[in-house]
């Protein structure tokens, strides 16, 4: 949960690197600054506890399209992670060895859902989506959408980047991080 008390944010904020602090400061709203800090600080705490180091000593590096990963200078390069934030909720997925991706979204009406589905979903996904009744459409859309985003985050490419991937290469689980949200976590087989 990202909307934590100010004194907790202050404590967690001390773990952030200079660059992360600059990124937080550049955010316009105070709420967004707090949420970014809470998420990045907790990511550092979780990674640090796995690596047996202090949260402020965790070094991250970034892929070409912004995917954060542990720096090659860290003791365990085998530890992979993926982060997703939506509103006041964040999820951090960890994996040892195999690449991991996670995405969560607040389940809110998307007027252009059918167009997005036609554009982005695979043929079989679109077919099963289009067959859903009106009551199941919204959840069906977010189930497929978060799976797509989670895979693209596992690959580190982001959705706007042309890439061919096979969903069969990934183990997929859907979950509810909080009432009103849906998420997918994927791990490469
Ligand atoms: C990466 C991306 C999928 C994030 O999705 P989102 O739903 O907006 O945001 P989420 O909260 O789920 O994920 C954000 C987290 O993903 C991670 N991330 C950022 N870039 C990433 C990438 N290329 N691959 C994997 N993970 C990435 C970061 O941990 C980030 O957390 P932070 O903001 O606290 O640093 C999206 O921004 C993207 O596609 N970026 C690439 C550029 C692009 O293709 N743009 C056009 C989009 S159609």
Q: How far is CA 81 from CA 25, 27, 46, in A?
A: 24, 24, 10
Mean pLDDT in the chain? 94
Among protein residues, the one with the nearest Cα to ligand 1's atom 6 is: 84
Q: Strand, helix or coil at 24?
A: helix
Among protein residues, the one with the nearest Cα to ligand 1's atom 3 is: 158
Q: What are phi and psi of 166, to 5 degrees?
A: -115, 120
CA 84 – CA 183 distance, rounded (Å): 9
Q: What are phi and psi of 3, to 5 degrees?
A: -90, 70
What is the Cα 177 distance to its own chain's centre? Answer: 12
Nearest-atom index, ligand 1, CA of 39? 34
Nearest-atom index, ligand 1, CA of 104? 12
Rounded distance from Cα 127 to ligand 1 centre (Å): 27
Give the Cβ contact number of residue 1 at 10 Å.
11
Please answer whether residues 107 and 87 qualify as being in contact, where contact means their C-beta atoms are separated by less than 8 angstroms: no
The ranges assigned to domains in the chain are 6-96, 102-188
pLDDT score of 168: 87
Same fold, 6-96 and 102-188: yes
pLDDT, tens digit (0-9, with 9 covering 90-100), for 86-118: 999 999 999 999 999 999 999 999 999 999 999
Mutate to test the pocket of ligand 1, among 159, 161, 163 (most ligand atoms within 8 A of CB): 159
User: So what CATH class is 6-96?
Assistant: alpha beta
Beta strands of 27-72 (E only): which ranges?
A: 60-62, 68-70
Asked if pLDDT for residue 23 goes beyond 70, the answer is: yes
- Long-range CB pairs of 180-183, under 8 A, 24+ apart, other chains included: 180/106, 180/107, 181/86, 181/87, 181/89, 181/104, 181/105, 181/106, 181/107, 182/104, 182/105, 182/107, 182/139, 182/142, 182/143, 182/146, 183/84, 183/91, 183/102, 183/103, 183/104, 183/105, 183/146, 183/150
CA 165 – CA 170 distance, rounded (Å): 10
Which range has the worst mean pLDDT, 71-80, 110-119, 148-157?
A: 71-80
Q: Is the CB of 105 under 6 A from ligand 1?
A: no
pLDDT score of 57: 97
Q: Is the CB of 83 under 6 A from ligand 1?
A: yes
Rounded distance from Cα 155 to ligand 1 centre (Å): 11
Please answer whether residues 170 and 188 qualify as being in contact, where contact means their C-beta atoms are separated by less than 8 angstroms: yes
Using only C-alpha atoms, what is the Rg of the chain? 18
Rounded distance from Cα 133 to ligand 1 centre (Å): 31
For domain 102-188, the question of CATH label 3.30.420.40 is answered with no
Among protein residues, the one with the nearest Cα to ligand 1's atom 37 is: 158
């Amino acid at each position: 949960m990202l909307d934590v008390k100010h004194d907790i944010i202050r404590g967690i904020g001390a773990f952030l690197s200079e660059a992360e602090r600059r990124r937080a400061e550049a955010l316009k709203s105070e709420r967004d600054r707090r949420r970014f800090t809470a998420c990045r600080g907790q990511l550092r705490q979780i990674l640090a506890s796995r690596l047996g180091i202090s949260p402020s000593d965790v070094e991250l590096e970034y892929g070409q399209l912004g995917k954060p990963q542990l720096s090659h200078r860290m003791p365990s390069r085998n530890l992979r992670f993926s982060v997703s934030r939506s509103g006041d909720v964040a999820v951090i997925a960890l994996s040892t060895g195999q690449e991991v991706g996670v995405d969560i979204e607040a389940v809110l009406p998307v007027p252009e859902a059918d167009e997005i589905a036609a554009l982005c979903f695979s043929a079989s996904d679109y077919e099963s989506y289009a067959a859903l009744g009106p009551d199941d459409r919204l959840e069906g859309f977010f189930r497929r959408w978060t799976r797509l985003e989670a895979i693209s985050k596992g690959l580190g490419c982001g959705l706007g980047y042309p890439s061919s991937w096979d969903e069969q290469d990934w183990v997929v689980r859907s979950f509810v991080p909080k009432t009103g949200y849906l998420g997918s976590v994927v791990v490469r087989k």
